């Protein structure tokens, strides 16, 4: 009887030892799986934090540089005067560029929200992994200690053991818990990778789009500068020609005035001659050729002076 009981006890102990070893091996396997997935998710969180900073830097650059410069250009062009204050191609391209920058800013802000949310989810998954790993470590320590216990150890308690009073998990639930944590962490890792790839695409598209519009705007500015320079050159040539014409007109006016003044001398001479001939005795007063020529000369001079004065008026108009 004693031998039979001893055999049963020994068999039960060996079975328990076997189950403990199996459980320890299972815990160690799952612990290694948790450590592996933990390493991956930590790397992804670090990567997301780097990408978050990239988005912040890009957003700051767009706000402080691109948008600020574009607005300054619009304000500066608003100070144009007269006919130069037109809604030209440069104005259109600058407005398009401002709109693109604001759209890029809104897009980057949404991406920043997405990456912050993904970081939160990844950290939550990491917390569950760490918590599960900590529990596995504690469980492993307990079962390893149980495996090391011998019946001859001094610290054994012969009193009846107290069973766990809480709700016990089934093995399927225990396995499912770790599997669920691993699946959630794997999903967070894959989502983080896809998000980082998406961010690379978004940043590249944003920069390429803004650079493309910048090229178009600069091209319009260059073309406008060339047009303005061409118009300025034409105006300068016209101004030079007008100055020459004004100088020529001034010279003509001076010559006409000089000619009129010169004719006034001749007119005075003729009048003096006619007046002096009026002093002739009555018997000598004849309409001779000299008289006729003097009258003809005075009419001719009056006509010439009238023509010169008309020319002077026309030049001054």
Express each pLDDT in 218-257 by its tens digit: 999 999 999 889 999 999 999 999 888 888 888 877 887 7
Same domain, 275 and 216: no
Examine residue 159 and state whether it is found in any structural domain, yes or no: no
CA 126 to the chain's CA centroid: 36
Q: Which residues contact 136 (CB under 8 A, 6 or more apart)?
A: 27, 30, 31, 34, 178
Q: Quick check: is 233 in a domain?
A: no
In this structure, the answer to whether residues 45 and 186 fall within a common structural domain is yes
Of residues 252 and 92, more confidence is placed in 92
Q: How confident is the model at residue 163 (pLDDT cuts 50, 70, 90)?
A: very low
CA distance 17 to 23: 10
Does 204 reside within a domain?
yes
Amino acid 14: pLDDT: 64
Together in a domain, 120 and 13: yes
What pLDDT score does 63 carry? 81
The answer to whether residue 243 sits within a structural domain is no
Query: What's the predicted TM-score (pTM) here?
Result: 0.67
In a domain, 249, yes or no: no
Considering the domain architecture, whether residues 192 and 85 belong to the same structural domain is answered as yes
Residue 36's domain is classified under what CATH number?
1.20.1260
Domain count, the chain: 2
CB 64 within 8 A of CB 211: no
**160 — pLDDT class (breaks 50, 70, 90):** very low
Q: Give the residue from 227, 245, 264 where a domain finishes.
A: 227
Buried b (16+ CB within 10 A) or exposed e, 29-47: ebbebbeebbebbeebbeb
The whole-number pLDDT of residue 116 equals 94
Task: Look at residue 165 and tell me if it is in a domain.
Answer: no
Categorize the per-residue pLDDT at 115 as very low, low, confident or very high, splitting at 50, 70 and 90.
very high
Share of the chain above pLDDT 90, in %: 27
Domain that holds residue 292: 254-315
Q: Is the pLDDT of residue 161 over 80?
A: no
Residues 214 and 293 in one domain: no
Q: Indicate whether 66 and 197 sit together in one domain.
A: yes
């Amino acid at each position: 009887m004693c031998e039979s009981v001893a055999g049963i006890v020994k068999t039960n102990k060996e079975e328990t030892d076997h189950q403990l070893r199996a459980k320890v091996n299972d815990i160690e396997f799952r612990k290694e799986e948790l450590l592996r997935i933990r390493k991956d998710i930590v790397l992804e969180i670090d990567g997301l934090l780097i990408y978050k900073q990239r988005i912040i830097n890009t957003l700051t650059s767009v706000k402080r540089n691109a948008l600020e410069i574009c607005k300054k250009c619009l304000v500066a062009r608003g100070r144009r005067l007269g006919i130069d204050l037109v809604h030209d191609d440069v104005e259109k391209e600058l407005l398009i560029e401002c709109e693109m920058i604001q759209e890029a800013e809104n897009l980057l802000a949404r991406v920043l929200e997405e990456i912050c949310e993904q970081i939160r989810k990844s950290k939550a998954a990491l917390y569950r992994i760490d918590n599960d790993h900590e529990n596995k470590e504690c469980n492993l320590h307990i079962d390893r200690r149980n495996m090391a216990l011998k019946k001859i150890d001094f610290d054994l308690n012969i009193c009846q053991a107290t069973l766990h009073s809480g709700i016990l998990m089934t093995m399927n639930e225990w396995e499912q818990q770790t599997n669920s944590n691993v699946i959630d962490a794997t999903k967070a890792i894959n989502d983080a990778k896809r998000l980082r790839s998406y961010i690379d695409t978004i940043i590249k598209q944003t920069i390429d789009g803004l650079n493309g519009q910048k090229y178009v705007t600069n091209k319009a500015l260059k073309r406008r500068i060339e047009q303005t320079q061409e118009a300025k050159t034409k105006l300068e040539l016209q101004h030079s020609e007008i100055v020459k014409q004004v100088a020529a007109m001034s010279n003509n006016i001076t010559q006409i005035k000089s000619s009129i003044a010169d004719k006034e001398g001749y007119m005075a001479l003729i009048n003096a001659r006619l007046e002096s001939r009026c002093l002739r005795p009555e018997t000598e007063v004849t309409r001779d050729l000299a008289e006729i020529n003097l009258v003809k000369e005075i009419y001719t001079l009056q006509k010439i002076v009238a023509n010169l004065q008309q020319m002077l008026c026309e030049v001054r108009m």
